[in-house]
A = this chain, B = another copy of it.
Amino acid sequence: MQSKTVAKGVNLGNWLVLEKWMSPELFILEDGTSVEDDYQLVRALCEIVKRERYKVHRDSYITDRDFAYLAARSIDFVRIPIPFYIFGDYEPYIGCIDYLDKAFKWAERYKLKILIDLHTVPDSQNGFDNGGICGVCKFHKNPEHVEFALTVLERLAERYRDNKSLWGIEVLNEPISPELWDLVDVPKRYPAVDKAYAEGSEAVPTDFLKRFYTQAYSRIRAQADDVTVVFHDGFRIKEWVEFFKAPDFKNIVVDTHLYLMTFALKYGDGELDDHLAYIKNEMGGTVTEMSQYFPVLVGEWSIDTASRKAATTLAGKQRDDYYRKVADAHFKAWEHATAWCYWSYKCLGDEAKFDIWDMGKAIELGLLPHDLSQLQ
């Protein structure tokens, strides 16, 4: 990953960290009702069903053949979201470190790199469904949780530091900013099941995040002196310009997630030209500007324009052309990034929305280029 070209990656989302929208069937309980997040799911299922469901899913969702597929498409690396309970020491969750071990075996075979991404922490860092518990964001308020997360990072660094396929370790996915907390309206969009438990939830303060990142860096470095340490920008990328200038940060990357959902939240549906301009100027502009200060990873993006009109009216060749233009604009916008990483590789279901969120399918449908090596 020292090349001068932009490294190309894809997220193995919904494998070790489940997300309901990507595989709704897994969230249906025995009585036919369903829950919204991993926290509820592991508590609502009886022990025997829980073990079986997680096992069969993990065994089949991503395997050696998927790595073969990605390598043949010139993908350079996979970003693997993992839960805080990966080591199997946090009741009532079921660990999954064996699967990450397998991924390293596959990565070695197909010469892919792996970015391990700590995607959830106890009591969550964003309140999103993908943070594991909707409407709750209190990780930063509990020093025991923080210490637990640091220990997980430490153990991951120790376990994989000598593995040639390890590209980096990402300290924490999407710790939410006050601005995004309000824009998304987290308590409304991701309502907490237990309101009392959610009490005190709030965006992750920047001063906490800086302390946490410093600690995490030092704990990882103590285990692995050359692994790339990746920090999500916490939706406040400019905060890090000075911060990472400190001489004690070496071989770090800043991850920023750039979705057009942000455009939709601010300006509504929009036309294709608006989206293309936004991708070029806002997204690409940010990446180019910030790349002067640190290597930038666009760790999540997709060709979804979040336009309801586009999703419901486009069809056939018109639809193909639309998404190819959106894709091309993104690739161009990431030209100064150190790497980009599509969200996501695979979804389970028939809905048309998956055509664009499932990179494998998008490639087969011709909405993304068949051979990504042509991009560089």
Contacts and interface: CB of A to CB of B under 8 A. Distances in A.
Interface string A97-108: 000001001100
Given A53-B56, A105-B350, A358 B65 contact: yes
Given A56-B57, A64-B354, 11 more contacts: A25-B59, A26-B56, A56-B56, A60-B61, A63-B349, A63-B350, A65-B360, A68-B365, A69-B364, A72-B366, A102-B350
A322 to B, nearest CB: 18
Contacts of A348: 59-60, 63
A196 to B, nearest CB: 32
Given A52-B49, A52-B56, A64 B349 contact: yes
A7 to B, nearest CB: 20
A342 B45 CA distance: 39
Total copies of the chain: 2
A8 interface: no
A361 interface: yes
Identify whether the interface residues of A are mostly helix, strand, loop, or mixed: helix
20 contacts: A23-B59, A23-B60, A25-B55, A25-B59, A26-B56, A48-B52, A49-B52, A52-B52, A52-B53, A53-B56, A63-B349, A64-B354, A65-B346, A65-B354, A65-B358, A65-B361, A68-B361, A68-B365, A69-B360, A69-B361
A46 interface: yes
A64 B26 CA distance: 17
Contacts of A61: 60
A13 B215 CA distance: 50
A149 to B, nearest CB: 29
Contacts of A46: 48
Interface in A65-83: 65, 68-69, 71-72
A128 to B, nearest CB: 24
A324 to B, nearest CB: 15
Contact of A361 (B57, B64, B358): B64
A65 B22 CA distance: 13
Contacts of A48: 46, 48-49, 52
A14 B348 CA distance: 18
Interface in A318-376: 346-350, 354, 358, 360-361, 364-366
Contacts of A366: 72
Nearest to A54: B56
B26 A72 contact: no
A361 B64 CA distance: 9
The 7 A-B pairs at the shortest CB distance, nearest first, are namely: A56-B56, A52-B52, A68-B364, A65-B361, A72-B364, A64-B350, A25-B59
A346 B66 CA distance: 11
Interface in A121-177: none
Contacts of A347: 65
Nearest to A346: B65
Interface string A287-330: 00000000000000000000000000000000000000000000
A305 to B, nearest CB: 21
A45 to B, nearest CB: 9
Contacts of A57: 56, 60
B60 A106 contact: no
Contacts of A59: 23, 25, 348
A278 B350 CA distance: 43
A36 to B, nearest CB: 19
